[in-house]
């Protein structure tokens, strides 16, 4: 397999060294600086990043544009700020079948990930490769795992083939956006955990805040369009652990400096600081006011970096930890469960931490002269199978709503907008919200079709 690694920095170089172990791989380590390429060819050393290591002779060093044409797989190990312009400028040199593998971490101000931005300038497939990995460890051939975000099965099979007979391992997801998001989000919380360790040096406190960080990461992942289970892969759980708890991490080091009081306004031009602040700003401004209620760690970092002269980082655990859980309540028959039902339940669940559904009993439906195709037990079973529903309670009469709100400490009462105004009398007990119904979904139409 002909492989080009664009970018002769620490990670590009270490990846080339790891992949050349597989005899089926033909590796070209490509740099846009001719002088750098010539020096590495002559000395077989990348003196800037690995001055004491001789590069394997199976790695070809190049800066020739024509060499880009031979790459079946192209790994992109260049800064996120230049990656789009680079590919746009060199697009004519790549085959239509070239598979791009993005190694760079970054999120653009419009919320786009690097693969999403690249898809606007090329029809080539782009996959994502991220995981808990330090370049020096990869260079030393330490067993290392990455998450591959892909869309087509053949893409995963190709990358797996490349990794055969090496000490690089893979887990997989089709959630490319989630993999990219986590690679940015985890850096934010690595800074925070660095501050915590510098201030307290306490395992209890460290893992209290690490737990909180994972929860915020999971929430941000879902809000920004990733799949929640992606956080359990190496790009999520593993990468935060590596970045937040290991002193080789630059973002953790930044947090340590802040926590020790060594960070000053003079440090804000540092590239790591700028990258971290940019990510914090982008993600913070993508959230609604309601969503920010659940991200106190992110909010604290945002507030800190907004100070013109950063001083001590304020850490109030009561504010950071004791975020009130919100319970949402809705009612309905949920007969012939369909997409419209699922959609309104999904939106209701996103409004809080827990969703309770009051399901009309067969007896109550009979009193109202409303028929159901399915029994209460069957409808309850279907609702409980949905990931959005935390609890199902019986709705036996119209008057029980106030009692249910008090008994379950409900914060938000949700119904469809066809009931607008009907339940305003409950506003003295909790917040009332009427959600728009899903267009073109009618139970009567579904019944007639059946």
Residues of the chain with CATH 3.40.50.720: 2-173
For residue 67, pLDDT over 70 is answered with yes
Q: What is the pLDDT of residue 21?
A: 96
pTM recorded for the entire structure: 0.84
- CA 402/CA 288 separation, integer angstroms: 29
Over range 377-383, report the average pLDDT: 96
Interval 77-94: pLDDT, tens: 999 999 999 999 999 999
- Burial state string for 284-303 with b = 16 or more CB within 10 A and e = fewer than 16: beebeeeeeebbbbbbbbbe
pLDDT above 70 covers what percent of the chain? 94
Q: 327-449 architecture in CATH?
A: 3-Layer(aba) Sandwich (3.40)
Residues of the chain with CATH 1.10.1040.10: 178-321
Which residues on neighbouring strands pair with residue 100, listed in sequence order?
74, 126
| DSSP assigned state of 56 | P
Interacting residues of 381 by C-beta distance below 8 A, sequence separation 6+: none
Interacting residues of 57 by C-beta distance below 8 A, sequence separation 6+: 44
Q: Give domain 178-321's CATH number out of 1.10.1040.10, 1.20.950.20, 1.10.3720.10, 3.40.1120.10.
A: 1.10.1040.10
DSSP 308-348: SS--SPP--HHHHH-PPP-EEEEEE---S--HHHHHHHHHH
Q: Would you place residue 198 in the very low, low, confident or very high pLDDT band (cuts 50, 70, 90)?
A: very high
Over range 152-168, report the average pLDDT: 97
What is the dotted CATH code of the domain comprising 2-173? 3.40.50.720
**Mean pLDDT for the chain overall:** 92
For residue 444, pLDDT over 90 is answered with no
Interval 96-134: pLDDT, tens: 999 999 999 999 988 999 999 999 999 999 999 999 999
Residues of the chain with CATH 3.40.50.620: 327-449
């Amino acid at each position: 397999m002909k492989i080009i690694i664009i970018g002769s920095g620490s990670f590009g170089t270490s990846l080339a060294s790891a992949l050349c172990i597989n005899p089926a791989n033909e590796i070209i380590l490509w740099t846009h600086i001719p002088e750098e390429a010539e020096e590495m060819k002559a000395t077989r050393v990348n003196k800037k990043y690995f001055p004491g290591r001789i590069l394997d002779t199976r790695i070809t060093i190049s800066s020739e544009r024509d060499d880009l044409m031979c790459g079946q797989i192209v790994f992109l190990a260049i800064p996120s700020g230049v990656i789009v312009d680079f590919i746009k400028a060199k697009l004519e040199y790549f085959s239509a079948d070239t598979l791009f593998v993005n190694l760079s971490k970054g999120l653009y101000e419009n919320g786009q990930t690097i693969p999403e931005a690249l898809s606007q300038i090329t029809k080539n497939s782009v996959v994502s490769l991220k995981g808990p990995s330090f370049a020096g460890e990869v260079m030393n051939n330490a067993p290392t795992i990455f998450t591959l975000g892909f869309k087509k099965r053949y893409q995963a099979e190709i990358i797996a083939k490349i990794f055969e007979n090496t000490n690089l391992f893979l887990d997989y997801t089709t959630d490319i956006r989630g993999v990219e998001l986590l690679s940015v989000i985890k850096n934010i919380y690595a800074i925070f955990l660095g501050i915590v360790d510098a201030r307290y040096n306490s395992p209890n406190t460290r893992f209290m805040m690490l737990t909180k960080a994972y929860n915020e990461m999971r929430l941000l992942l879902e809000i920004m369009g990733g799949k929640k289970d992606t956080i359990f892969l190496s790009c999520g759980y593993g990468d935060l652990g590596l970045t937040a708890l290991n002193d080789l991490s630059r973002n953790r080091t930044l947090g340590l400096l802040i926590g020790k009081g060594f960070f000053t306004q003079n440090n804000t031009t540092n590239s790591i600081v700028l990258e971290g602040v940019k990510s914090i700003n982008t993600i913070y401004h993508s959230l609604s006011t309601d969503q920010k209620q659940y991200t106190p760690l992110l909010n604290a970092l945002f507030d800190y970096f907004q100070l013109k002269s950063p001083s001590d980082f304020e850490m109030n655990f009561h504010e950071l930890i004791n975020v009130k859980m919100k319970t949402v309540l809705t009612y309905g028959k949920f007969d012939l469960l369909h997409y419209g039902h699922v959609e309104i339940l999904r939106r209701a669940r996103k409004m809080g931490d827990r969703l309770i559904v009051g399901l009309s009993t067969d007896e109550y439906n009979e009193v109202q002269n409303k028929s159901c195709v399915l029994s209460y037990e069957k409808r309850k079973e279907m609702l409980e199978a949905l990931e959005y529903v935390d609890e199902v309670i019986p709705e036996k009469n119209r008057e029980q709503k106030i009692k249910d709100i008090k008994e379950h400490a409900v914060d938000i009462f949700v119904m469809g907008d066809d009931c607008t105004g009907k339940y305003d009398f409950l506003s003295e007990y909790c917040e009332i919200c009427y959600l728009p119904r899903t267009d073109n979904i009618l139970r009567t139409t579904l019944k007639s079709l059946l």
